[in-house]
Amino acid sequence: MHMVCLPVTQLDAAKPTEKCTTVCEFSFQLRSAVRFYHSKQAEAESKLQALAIQTLKLATAATNKDKELAAKALPALAAIGTLYDNCASLVQTGRSLLAQHVETLAATARTLAMVAQLEADDGEVVLVTQTHSGKFTGASISGSSLGSKHSELCPNTNPEDAKSTFDGTNTSNAISIPDLEPTTETTIVCSHDGSADDNCVSTAMAAGSGKLWFTNKLTSKARQAVAAEAAWANDTNHRKVIITHKSKIPGKNISDANEANKLLREYFTSSQCADALPTFEDFAGEATFTRQIIRTLVGDATSEETETKPESNLAAAIEAAYGKSGEKFKQNLWDKIEKLKPKINSG
């Protein structure tokens, strides 16, 4: 079974995609996805707090005795409330989506880890004939390694390996777990004298050397079943009897995880709060920002418009205050606000 896995860095479309080959790698990738979504939510929460602080700073600047700075701050103050409201809405939606869906990813990761643990829990039991040909006694069990690997959870897998990391910002990175039906596989081998080349079809098991081997394990890469009638058809057949039975351990976990990840990835990679320190571009899309520029910087104090005639008047006002196309917005506004000294009232 192969599962789609992609590295954490942006992929070149021409480069081949790395693929998971074990349920362990997919378990780690789902855990990585959970961390990614939580980090995106934390980033949005941080931006919301920052916007609240910037609002207070703009209010301080807009009422400052430095009239030039106050005029530059008023348009941003008029629009930052909308940026804050938008971010608050995104934060709330993110909280809701995480509450509804992230546990589905975590539960599926745990399920896959459990499957991996059970897959590692293989081994065999060997029965050796004792005393009389074909007879078994309490001393017949010569070896049992079943469960010897049970303590190994996802062996030989590096959680930091590129194949098991997740980066939702990569447009090619979409987790899609294929249907997984782990199979219980039981193998039986019989040798009348303990040799790998002799079966028990025509010759009775020899005392002290005749053996029966039994193995039992869970696997996501089951072999084709082999019936006893085919495996032991005659003396020339020395094949293993393989009995398989599909398990429903994952249940709906995989399909639910695919759907949950699709919803989370689409939201957290398409919905963004304004920068913690809003840029000119963040404000430029808000009508309140442009309208206040016309009122304050163009000088049309009662205007309800978002454009001027000629249009060059608006462009000139923006360039004078914030640089051409707002390229000096941070330098002319935020940097100067940071240099403001708090007013101290003398009692």
pLDDT, position 12: 38
Contact 293, 147 (CB under 8 A): no
With a pLDDT cut of 70, the percent of the chain lying above it is 83
Q: In angstroms, rounded to a whole number, what is the distance separating the alpha carbons of residues 190 and 231?
A: 10
Residues 6+ apart with CB under 8 A from 47: 87, 273, 274, 275, 276
246 or 319, which is more confident: 319
DSSP collapsed to 3 states, 50-80: HHHHHHHHHHHHHCCCCHHHHHHHHHHHHHH
Residue at 202 is within a domain: no
pLDDT, position 92: 98
279 or 234, which is more confident: 279
Residue at 104 is within a domain: yes
- Number of structural domains (the chain) is 1
Residue at 175 is within a domain: no
138 or 92, which is more confident: 92
Residue at 54 is within a domain: yes
Domain of residue 30 covers: 23-109+263-339
φ and ψ at 267, to 5 degrees? Answer: -75, -50
Q: Decide: helix, strand or coil at residue 244.
A: strand
pLDDT, position 139: 80
Q: Decide: helix, strand or coil at residue 33.
A: helix
Contact 28, 175 (CB under 8 A): no
310: cis peptide before it, omega within 30°? yes
pTM: 0.77
pLDDT, position 75: 97
**For 17-21, 39-43, 44-48, which range has the lowest pLDDT when averaged over its residues?**
17-21
Residue at 59 is within a domain: yes
Q: In angstroms, rounded to a whole number, what is the distance separating the alpha carbons of residues 30 and 41?
A: 17
pLDDT in tens, 248-287: 778 788 889 989 999 999 999 888 899 999 999 999 999 9
Strand partners, 7: none
pLDDT in tens, 311-333: 999 999 999 999 999 999 999 99
Residue at 102 is within a domain: yes
Q: In angstroms, rounded to a whole number, what is the distance separating the alpha carbons of residues 249 and 103?
A: 18
Q: In angstroms, rounded to a whole number, what is the distance separating the alpha carbons of residues 195 and 211?
A: 9
Residue at 320 is within a domain: yes
Number of other CB atoms surrounding residue 118 within 10 Å: 18
Residue at 221 is within a domain: no
Q: In angstroms, rounded to a whole number, what is the distance separating the alpha carbons of residues 54 and 56?
A: 5
Per-residue pLDDT at 163 exceeds 70: no
Q: In angstroms, rounded to a whole number, what is the distance separating the alpha carbons of residues 316 and 130?
A: 102
Q: In angstroms, rounded to a whole number, what is the distance separating the alpha carbons of residues 307 and 100?
A: 44
Strand blocks (E) in the chain: 3-4, 19-20, 124-128, 141-144, 183-191, 211-219, 241-246
Q: In angstroms, rounded to a whole number, what is the distance separating the alpha carbons of residues 18 and 9?
A: 12
Q: In angstroms, rounded to a whole number, what is the distance separating the alpha carbons of residues 125 and 207?
A: 18
Q: Decide: helix, strand or coil at residue 227.
A: coil
Q: Tell me how far the alpha carbon of residue 122 is from its chain's centroid.
A: 30
